[in-house]
Amino acid sequence: MTLEIITSEVLKLDRLSRIELIRRLAESIVREEWAGSDAEDEPGLTPEQAQEIDRRMKLFEAGKMTTIPGGQVTAWLIEKYGLQR
């Protein structure tokens, strides 16, 4: 099956199904990245992205940044986009 055929079929899906497909594809890519990386490496990140993560972690550890609990973010995404696991 070609990418063109797959794309054509995917575009026939409703919006929520396409969003769910994106989520599943992204998860599969992350799994592949982690499987191919050393524990010390940041999988699939550019040096700039790794630097930004380090910067934000330092702010968080210094108490200069707050976080949003994962459950709250998930609830917000479900409410805004109708996403469900």
Q: What's the average model confidence in pLDDT over 48-56?
A: 89
**CA-derived radius of gyration, the chain:** 17
State pLDDT tens for residues 16-40.
899 889 988 988 887 777 666 554 5
**Domain residue ranges in the chain:** 3-81
Helix, strand and coil content of the chain, in percent to the nearest 5, comes to 65, 0, 35
| Mean of per-residue pLDDT scores for the chain | 84
Tokens of 85: 């696991």
Indicate yes or no: pTM above 0.85: no
Say yes or no to pLDDT of 42 above 60: no
